[in-house]
Amino acid sequence: MRRARPGAPPRGTAARTLTSVGTGTDADRNPRPSDTAQREPVTTARKEPPQSKLWHVTLSVSGAEAPLAEVRRGLEQLAHDHPFLLTSRYANDHAEIRYWEEARDLHDAAAVALRLWGEHRSSAQLPPWTIVGLEVIDRETYHLRVAEGYGPPPAAPVGVHPY
């Protein structure tokens, strides 16, 4: 006589069958017709992917003095590499970069902003400056500040400009 679990295939067979394990009457996804009037239909909820938002980023960097021509050329290359760059202002020892970033939340936008200077330092031949300031605000806050006269006005002269 063979000893095995009920429903288990004989040893040595390649095909296996799956059997369900009962989890109680509350988890019954296929109710019998007699009790369908009391139960709500089972639905599977789809999670919507998080919506991304626009964030206004102001990144400030500074460090040892560098020739203005090299700073300008590096910022122009950064604007070419990062097409959403709005405007950059610079001096020989500091710069400010303003742009719009599309991200799921503030944390993601800030993380991208904090990597921007370092990741483009060699490709754009930027000065070896460090990030000394970061502001990330949502689009509504940016427009509210501008309307109330606070904060920087919209970047009318798009591009790279000296202070």
pLDDT per position as a tens digit, 3-14 = 555 555 555 555
Residues 91-106 pLDDT 10s: 999 999 999 999 999 9
Q: What is the rounded CA–CA span in Å between residue 50 and residue 52?
A: 6
3 state SS of 40: coil
pLDDT at 160: 82
pLDDT at residue 137 greater than cutoff 80: yes
The DSSP symbol for 41 reads P
Between 33 and 75, where is the model more confident? 75
CA distances from 158 to 37, 115, 148 (A): 65, 22, 22
Tell me the C-alpha distance between 76 and 22, whole Å.
66
User: Is the pLDDT assigned to residue 49 strictly greater than 70?
Assistant: no
To which residue do tokens 């992917």 refer?
Answer: 49
